[in-house]
Amino acid sequence: MQQSADYRELARHYGLAPVPDSVLRLTQLVARQDSDLEEITQLIDQEPALRKRLLQLANPGAKSEAEYELDTVERAIFQRGIGCALLLAMGTPLAFALAKTFQTMLALKLETLTPQQLKPIDPPCFLGTIAFGGKAAGTVCLRMGASSATLIAAKILGMEPKDLKDLTAISDAVGELLNIITGNFKSNLCDAGLNCRLQPPKVWHTSEAYTPAVPGVGLECLGFRVGQIVLLVDVSVNPWNEE
């Protein structure tokens, strides 16, 4: 299976955790033109980690499992549709794109944060977005606090963080990083069979600390950290895109 080999090689090369076969199989299933919801449901239901993520996605307002309205994979897929499965499948290409970019561009090894470790970023912050279209339409929003953005920009520009005060220079450096992430993300999506078109990334210095929810569109929040640098990534997907 070529896709398994591709991701396993990336995992070995960049010291990442191995990608479970279930995640790779899920990616292949949702990439098919004739995606079978019953087959997708059975796969997710058999894998505790995927099941846990899916139910979190399907119950965005719940603070604990006790508050879940959709408490089974079957009910979640029936109510939320393939969008939740697409979000689960896209997490792997995105995580690898981020890890590869940070390792090759900054010589930094990212670690993934658990949902319990995710905390809001205090504004003002730097927000980078990547919009995509294809099998599904959506947006990746990469958010980091001013201190994290300054550390990243200083490393890219070869400066000391204390000497970097220019917000435009920081935004430009974050944009350069996002360009590389975009290229790696698109390559990984295509390798997974999720062909898409990506728009040029955009970067803002903003006081908005959260990604607003869009009715009918799935949203998953991911977090990554290396040293004092913390990144929050929101992935939103509309599975009913007209190509």
What string of DSSP letters covers 106-131? H----EEPPGGG--PPPSSEEEEEEE
219 domain residue, yes or no: yes
Look at the chain and report how many structural domains it folds into. Answer: 1
What CATH number should be reported for the domain holding residue 178?
Answer: 3.40.1550.10
Structure pTM? 0.79
Q: Which pLDDT tens digits describe the chain residue by residue (243 residues)?
A: 444 447 667 666 766 666 677 777 888 788 776 778 888 889 898 888 888 888 888 887 788 888 899 899 999 888 877 778 888 888 878 888 888 889 888 999 998 887 778 788 888 899 998 888 876 678 888 999 999 999 999 999 999 999 998 999 999 999 888 888 888 888 877 777 777 788 888 898 888 766 665 555 567 888 899 999 999 988 887 765 544
243 domain residue, yes or no: no
The residues, any chain, with a CB within 8 Å of residue 38's CB and separated by 6 or more, are: none
Tokens for 14, please give them: 């960049």
Please tell me what DSSP assigns to residue 65.
Answer: G
197 domain residue, yes or no: yes
pLDDT at 170: 92
In single-letter form, the type of residue at position 158 comes to: G
pLDDT at 217: 57
